[in-house]
Structure 1
Amino acid sequence: MSSISIVGLGNMASALAGRALAGGNAVEIIGRDPAKAKEAAAALPGATIGTAGAAPTGDIVILAVPYASAAAVVSEYGDALHGKVIIDITNPVNADFTGFVTPDGSSGAQEIAKAATAGAHVVKAFNTLFGHVLTADSVKGRALDVFLAGDDARAKARVSEFVESLGLRPLDAGQLPMARALENVGLMELGLAAHAFKHANFFLGVTVLS
């Protein structure tokens, strides 16, 4: 199993932490508000509390913060992230969900990678799953799909192993530039939730035809 540090205290952080603990992983919760971090950890038996700004203990560090602060968080940790795998779960969409705040031709994951210290490996994952869907064991007996993108094969293999420990199915979409496509999927899901379904009780996955 893996050692995971989750930076953030929101719904996605809680959903990922719960599944990670159930899968036998060690989980550290890190938030800027110590009281809220303590409260979050208390709701997750087995989780430990980290200190914001101190070196994360996990070999895998999940950025469960808004995209607007993600690169700054990575920069703040600096060399403390050397050798670690950074999972970017963000969707860098604009306020009205019509596009992205990232530079043309780039992605949130690529911008975060630019801010990371040398020797840290960014993998895009989990951005196509809503937090409340992630807490479900399965959907009609089917495991949820988690799409991955990253440049380092070993980092992706470690993330894939972690995803499988959650009872989910990892699907490798390619190198880190493919994060642009995954973020477009996230944006499309927001559009579907607003226009087609009028709710967010769904996920997108892949069915392999035999």
Structure 2
Amino acid sequence: MNISFIGAGNVASSLGNLFANSGHTVKYGTQNPNDGQLSISEACIFGEVVCFAIPYSAMEDVLTINKESLKGKIVVDITNAINIEDWSPLFLGEDSGGEQTARLLPESKVVKAFNTIFADVMKPEKQQFDGQKLTAFIASDDTEAAETIKKLADEAGFSGFVVGGIRNAHHLEAIAHLNIAVAISGGGTDAGFTYFQRK
């Protein structure tokens, strides 16, 4: 599968490496492409799955400009609404970044995923805690798209878990804020969530 990342920072490169190691073709789109990178518009065209790992504040402009290229594609919103300077949360009330993305791209298959996982643990040797895999929470109104991302998550070494519709992006973003709060209070980023479900 062709997978694009918009952004080439720690999250994009770490998660992209996991996908590439699973046999997928991964490209990165940036504002100033180099070293084989694509432009953002080229990356939006290339990917069957297009993952956004850019600052939340840039999302509206980038999505609006590339809306046509993203029609019918799976768009994965990995962003969290934070102040870049200190990682403090931007409160969106009853709304969420994932729902905003879905409203901006009504003809795309929008999925909220991977936003609760730090880049530090997006590495094969750090994906398990006491024998348990890190959970990749997934929210989308498109059940087929959600299952596709679950499969990608599982292949990449996580335990993919679909939590329901895009409305639940609100809860996933709250989990991410909690993760960040624990990290900056001294817990660090070599940490993550494992969801245990007895069946």
**Please, what TM-score do these two structures have when normalized by structure 2?**
0.90
Does residue 135 of the first structure (1) align with residue 123 of the second (2)?
yes
Code of the residue aligned with 1:179 in structure 2: it is A
Consecutive unaligned residues of structure 2, counting only runs of 5 or more, are none
Partners of 2:152 and 2:87 in 1: how far apart? 30
1:9 matched to which residue of 2?
Answer: 8
Out of 23, 27, 50, the position equivalent to 1:61 is: 50
1:26 matched to which residue of 2?
Answer: 25
1:150 matched to which residue of 2?
Answer: 140
Residue 97 of structure 1 and its aligned partner are, at CA, apart by 5.0
Q: How does 1:1-210 map to 2 (within 5 A)?
A: 2-35=1-34, 38=35, 49-54=37-42, 55-94=44-83, 97=87, 99-102=89-92, 104-116=93-105, 118-137=106-125, 138-139=127-128, 140-195=130-185, 197-209=186-198
Code of the residue aligned with 1:58 in structure 2: it is G
Please tell me whether the aligned partners of residues 4 and 27 of structure 1 are also in contact (alpha carbons under 8 angstroms): yes
Deviation digits for residues 9-42 of structure 1 (CA, Å, limit 9, x no counterpart): 110011011101100011111111122xx1xx5x
Please tell me whether the aligned partners of residues 124 and 157 of structure 2 are also in contact (alpha carbons under 8 angstroms): no
Code of the residue aligned with 2:178 in structure 1: it is M
Q: Give the secondary structure class of the aligned counterpart of 2:40.
A: coil
Residue 101 of structure 1 and its aligned partner are, at CA, apart by 4.3
Deviation digits for residues 115-140 of structure 1 (CA, Å, limit 9, x no counterpart): 22x32011000011000111243324
Code of the residue aligned with 1:92 in structure 2: it is A
Code of the residue aligned with 1:21 in structure 2: it is A
Deviation digits for residues 153-191 of structure 1 (CA, Å, limit 9, x no counterpart): 111111111112212111111110100000000001111
Partners of 1:147 and 1:88 in 2: how far apart? 12
Q: Give the secondary structure class of the aligned counterpart of 1:34.
A: coil
CA RMSD after TM alignment: 1.8
Larger relative strand fraction: 2
**Please, what TM-score do these two structures have when normalized by structure 1?**
0.86
User: When the two structures are aligned, how many residues end up with a matched partner?
Assistant: 195
Partners of 2:166 and 2:33 in 1: how far apart? 33
1:46 matched to which residue of 2?
Answer: none
Which range is displaced more, 129-138 or 175-184? 129-138
